[in-house]
Structure 1
């Protein structure tokens, strides 16, 4: 009888030899480098084996084998995690990306999706049906990982967070059983991700939208400090006038290193078929600061995502830093503008702002989710990521100074919560992430995974 305290990889290899349809690669395999490749380059983390199941049954059998033989494993649903938590040294990576189907039910306005589908592929499939759902802005992010850990995005003001789209889930649990998540487990999945099992399928809400208005606006940035302050003065005024900004308006501020230099811009998306009203709001956004150029046109979400994807590098080195703030006060905007001016020139260095409001906030009521931060707020992401590793130290120094300056602004404007996907394992305080939902998460973990089989999940309890 095998010693279950020591990993028994031979049992897994015997299983895989009888399942030739499951792609596998060891570090010596020709395909290993491409299968291991991910957004953040970190060659120090090398899984012992990468496997790509083709079905829910494959996943269930794999979980049964690795748990029975004490083999450590991680789950990869996309591979865009900023800290390479899809991998662990000496472990097996179960790469879900071949389980990527989309099955639409227009009558119930829902879709069943495979646990490894990427945002770009989900959006493209829904587009064929004249449908959309809330998504992130980076095309190659895995949808399931994005949605189940919260899921900020440019469509959140209209439809809510990614977690709010989840109506059902099929999970492979710690015993290797395929189960349909009940409401109790669904609450944990909405914010807790794969803490309790492998999410092999989600059922999500979808919405009719054949045409949208979207693109990228770049403002004149020779004096980027003045431009950012002018834009935010105007944006703040629009937000507080009358009924405020409409839900269909998605406006994501960003600072990038463009081909013509450092630039302040706006990812613009009007998610309503009322294109004429969208053009009115486009004109308002264009009037907030002098415009250098824009690509905004009548489009689809799929086409918009392709345009935005051209701004993001395929791979880079480096971390991410984040902070949640109630408002973009003049004090905060001054910090943003100052550090935007000082931003490192590597093409991969970026800064962006997500705005959470509308149906995702407390006013909408979300007792069925463990995602903690439901007040209206801005989530800032500082990306000292670089294409050239020799630039990494300087970029991280810039990002760290930026982050520290934000944390020194008015304490009453800072929220205590952090966004789990953007927190490094070294800095992670799981209580700070989940706040009043922490105890509920712990109770669910005790019930569904008491032996901590899924110990490499992002929410490590």
Structure 2
């Protein structure tokens, strides 16, 4: 095996050389026609992401079905100095699932889900999506915290955080991770858990895919057959009082009620303010009273909230991400929505000029905020909001006005924001903000990177930590 000091991946875009040919010779007998090269019939589909703005072209795609195959692909990339990336759900907006000119470890064939009803746990493959887990757990009335987009890969969502409608009651997705099977850069298979390689387990819960390929995850499940959820929409003219009420509501929101908010394009093209509450308590009547109080500052143009399965509540967001459109994301952490923040967001919605672009505020509170910061690598445990600035345009449209809109909103929010930002949404070059995002956990996280990936094999992970020799 190549020594640590000798590993240097070839530069993105470099012409394939002897290393690539040797990798093909090693992996072809193992993967057969599941080792894809440009020109193969299945290559285009295997390298297509939901964000069509990503145009990277890997040299090889290893469509793995077992941990042993993942190990073979990782070791080949390391031995032959190929840039390596890992594709789970493929929903990183920056396209880090695809290594330009490199080798992609494709986990979409590892989507198994096993539910242990008695222990209330789930074991899922590294390529499983939110939808895969929720569909398997639904017949038993069980759930685990997830994000709001069902097509997102569980591993990528969990390893860097996992904001969603249940974090007030049950914590982030990573707070419900009980263990993980990981293939390290040297090909070793290890299990990370509280009682097995605890330092790796700590780093995985917030540090993303920087330490290895996660081929399996074990989650804690919760009995929750029904939530009270839906959408409440308001005309843009009511944004002032509604956001003022939202800001005041957040300060005393019960654990059981997590409320996403933001702006969406309306049916006539103009923006609408939305509140998306999810009540996870057993007393639905109490939830109805809390949600009525939340909506009281305005006169909704739409108020559709009712009891449903958690999986169905997430389906309300399925139309928000259209595969094939082009996306650029910016993010800020906010302590709340005081008047200056509300003005920035409202004016940004007014001038978005897009039939697709959105602004979303993800609510972090309750159980998630009661986890001590040193307990996981995740860096911000105070109650806050994640502002997600999502610029969207159709293929054929000019990128510049949409990029400028997103960057202007982010710049206007910067003096009103907390340091750092949600690592899962930061761009690969936002290294200063990434350091601030982890705060006092950052030195320990870098030490874990040096320990588990000393040569920087996983250099395209989300979020992107610096190579150990560059830190």
Tell whether the structures are fold-level matches, with TM greater than 0.5. yes
Q: How far apart are residue 333 of structure 1 and its match? A: 1.0
Does 2:374 align with 1:367?
yes
Secondary structure of 1:421's aligned partner? coil
| 2:185–2:458 CA contact under 8 A, matched in 1 | yes
Q: 1:378 to 1:135 in 2, by over 3 A?
A: same
Q: 1:348 aligns with which of 310, 335, 356?
A: 356
Unmatched tracts of structure 1, length 5 or more: none
Q: Which secondary structure does the structure 2 equivalent of 1:195 belong to?
A: coil
2:348 equivalent in structure 1? 339
- Equivalent residue for 1:49, pick from 52, 60, 70: 60
The answer as to 2:79 corresponding to 1:68 is: yes
1:198-220 deviations in whole A, cap 9, x for unaligned? 1111111110011112222222x
- In the alignment, structure 1 residue 460 sits paired with structure 2 residue 468: no
Is the Cα–Cα contact under 8 Å of residues 40 and 315 in structure 1 kept in the other structure? yes
Conserved 8 A contact 1:135-1:154: yes
Q: Among residues 125, 136, 140, which one is paired with 1:125 in the alignment?
A: 136
**What's the secondary structure of 1:194's corresponding residue?**
coil
Using the TM superposition, give the Cα deviation of residue 292 of structure 1 relative to its aligned residue in structure 2, in angstroms.
1.2
Cα separation, partners in 2 of 1:27 and 1:258, compared to 1, 3 Å: farther
Residue 148 (structure 2) pairs with residue 137 (structure 1): yes
**Cα–Cα, structure 1 residues 65 and 407, in superposed 2: closer, same or farther, change >3 Å?**
closer
CA distance in 2, matches of 1:7, 1:252: 51
Partner of 2:208: 193
In the superposition, relative to structure 1, how do residues 237 and 36 fare at CA in structure 2: closer, same or farther (>3 Å)? same
Residue 54 of structure 1 and its aligned partner are, at CA, apart by 0.6
Q: Deviations over 1:427-449 (max 9, x none)?
A: 33242232211110111122112
The aligned residue for residue 387 of structure 2 is: 380
In structure 2, the partner of 1:149 is 160
Deviation, structure 1 residue 391? 4.5
Partner of 1:420: 423
| Structure 2 counterpart SS, 1:157 | helix
Per the normalisation by structure 2, the TM-score is 0.90
| 1-structure distance, mates of 2:415, 2:77 | 47
Given the alignment, which residue of 328, 348, 358 partners 2:366?
Answer: 358
CA contact (8 A) 2:242 2:295 kept: no
Give, in angstroms, the shift of residue 73 of structure 1. 1.5
3-state SS in 1 of match to 2:326: coil
Normalising by structure 1, report the TM-score. Answer: 0.92
Deviation at 1:297, TM superposition (A): 2.1
In structure 2, what is the equivalent of residue 319 of structure 1? 328
User: Cα offset for 1:139?
Assistant: 1.4
2: CA distance between counterparts of 1:91 and 1:197? 17
Per the alignment, do residues 245 and 340 of structure 1 end up closer, same or farther by CA in structure 2, a change over 3 Å counting? same
1:250 to 233, 237, 258: 258
- Structure 1 residues 236 and 89, CA gap change in structure 2 (3 angstroms): closer
Q: Is 1:269 aligned to 2:273, yes or no?
A: no
For these two proteins, the number of residue pairs brought into alignment is: 448
